[in-house]
Structure 1
């Protein structure tokens, strides 16, 4: 029986919460996220939530990914955490270099 679980990652960035959030909610950003993650055979991504809050001169970015596992033997999808952590670092660098 399929089970719904979640995994999250948190990262501090130097960009403002406003600029980071707006960049990640553009249609282009959503398309890139879906294409790069691809499809997993024994699990299905159900929902991704982005929360960006101001912290000092930068922001705290938290991604939560809800996924469905086919059974308990399927390992946690750490690729999701790695992907969103790296994506956040890349976006932060881009925003800082193009401000």
Structure 2
């Protein structure tokens, strides 16, 4: 049983823009191995339903669930001037058992 909007209700052009980049870090790798989840940087206004639909459309995998985290950008100094890093919205996409998402591009 699926909650939320159907995959067909989304604009395909919008879905192609929702996922900004995969996040490859030590933490993301640990989560991927432990709970079969992939981490993406997504648009600030992306919803969980859009993220799920985008992953299913682009990678042809079945998604079990999506968790979203908003990270505030840090304030950084460059000499006298003060700058600020961008706020980031991360999506942890959990795949259904038996599903695998290959971000490397090489054949599995």
* Higher percent of residues as helix: 1
TM above 0.5, one fold? no
User: Which protein has the larger Cα radius of gyration, Structure 1 or Structure 2?
Assistant: 2
For the aligned pair, the TM-score class normalised by the smaller chain equals 0.3 to 0.5
Q: Which has the higher contact order (CA 8 A, sep 6+)?
A: 1
TM-score scaled by length of structure 2: 0.36
